[in-house]
Amino acid sequence: MNEGMRQRLIEAGERFEEIERLLASPEVIADHPRFQRLSREYGELEPVMQVWRKFRELETAGAEARELLTSSDADVRDLARDELDAVEQAGTDLEMRLQRLLLPRDPNDERNIFLEVRAGTGGQEAALFAGDLLRMYVRYAEGRGWRAEIMSSHEGEAGGFREVVARIIGQGAYSRLKFESGVHRVQRVPTTESQGRIHTSACTVAILPEIDDIEAVHINTADLRVDTFRSSGAGGQHVNTTDSAVRITHLPTGIVVECQDERSQHKNRARAMSLLSARVLEGQLEQQRSERAAERKLQVGSGDRSERIRTYNFPQGRVTDHRIGLTLYDLDRIMEGELDAVIEPLIETHQAELLAELTAQPH
C-alpha cells in the first residue's frame, strides 16, 4: 500500500473516532440536523474502518510469519511461507476493497431525479421511441420500488412524445440512472413503412438530480416569466377547468420548464421551480465539466447530452452502448425495464476510471 493511501486511511480513522465521540455528546444529540449529518458521515466511514482494521490485522500476521521464516526448524519455515502467501493474497484483496471504498462519492447519488426525454431526428418515429424510452425507465423505476410522476408532456402526432419530463422518486435513483444522459438512437422498421425499410431515429435523454435546497441555486425572481395555462394531459374532470399548469421561463438562459401534474397551481409552481433550479445548476456544472474535459475527459462520466451513447437495433434484437463497447442481444428485456445489464458495466467502468485517477495522483 502506498503512503498516500495509508495516510488517507489514518486520517479517516481519526475522523471516525472524532465522530463517535461527538455522537455521544448531549449537545450534538440535541442538535437534530447536526446529529443527522454526523450519523450519515459515520455510516459512510464505518465500512471503510471495518476493512481497514482487517487489513492491519493481516499486516501484523504477515510480520509474525516473516519472523518465523528465520526459524531453524524447516517445518516451521514451511508453515510460515504458507501463512505468508495466504496473508499477502488476502491483503491484496482487502487493499482493492479499500481503494474502491475511498473513491470520491458523488453527493447527488442518493437523490431523486428529473428524467427528460425529447424526440430528435426522425419525426413521428422519434416521438414513438421517446414514449418507448419513457416506458422503459418507468418500468425500471417500478422494479426498484421507486415512484414515477409525469410533470409535463407534449404528445406526438401519431403517439409517443415530442417531449416528456418525469420525476422519479427513490433512494439512489441518480446513482443508477446518471449515465443515461445523451443521445439514444433507434434502428427499426416503422409501422408506417410499407417497403419494410429500416429507419434510424434518435431521442435525447437528460437526467438531472433533484435539489433539496433550491435556495442554494441563485435565481433572481426578476429574471423569471411565469405563465399559467390549462393542463392538457390526463386528469379527469379537473382538466381544462382551471389554469393550474405553470410554465416558467428563465430569461437569462432561455430555459423553459413546465409542470401540469398537480391540480394545485401552487404545487405546480413549486415543482417547476425545483426543475428550473436543477436545470440552471446542470448548466453551471456542464460548463465546469467542459473545462475539466479539456484536461482529461472521462469516458463514461462526461454527461455530454449531444454524444450518441446507445443504439437500439430492433431487427437484430441488439443494444450497443458505444461508450464502453458493450453489445447485448437482449433488447426485448431491456425495453421492458431490465436495465441493470447495461447500468452495472457503466458503473464499474466509471469506478475503474476514478480508481485510475486516484492511484495516479502524486502522494
Structural fold of domain 3-101: Methane Monooxygenase Hydroxylase; Chain G, domain 1 (1.20.58)
CA distances to 74, 84, 85, 330 from 78, in Å:
6, 10, 11, 52
Structural fold of domain 105-210+325-363: Alpha-Beta Plaits (3.30.70)
When mean pLDDT is compared across 50-64, 282-296, 349-363, the lowest value belongs to 282-296
Is-contact 186 160, C-beta < 8 A? no
Distance CA 342, CA 183 (A): 15
Structural fold of domain 225-295: Double Stranded RNA Binding Domain (3.30.160)
Instruction: Read off the pLDDT of residues 110-147 as tens digits, 9 standing for 90 and up.
Output: 889 999 999 998 889 999 999 999 999 999 999 999 99
CA distances to 86, 150, 208 from 278, in Å:
50, 16, 6
For residue 191, what pLDDT band results from cuts at 50, 70 and 90? Answer: confident
Q: What is the pLDDT of residue 292?
A: 52
Distance CA 206, CA 184 (A): 11
Is-contact 148 168, C-beta < 8 A? yes
Domain boundaries, the chain: 3-101, 105-210+325-363, 225-295
User: Considering the entire predicted model, what is its pTM?
Assistant: 0.69
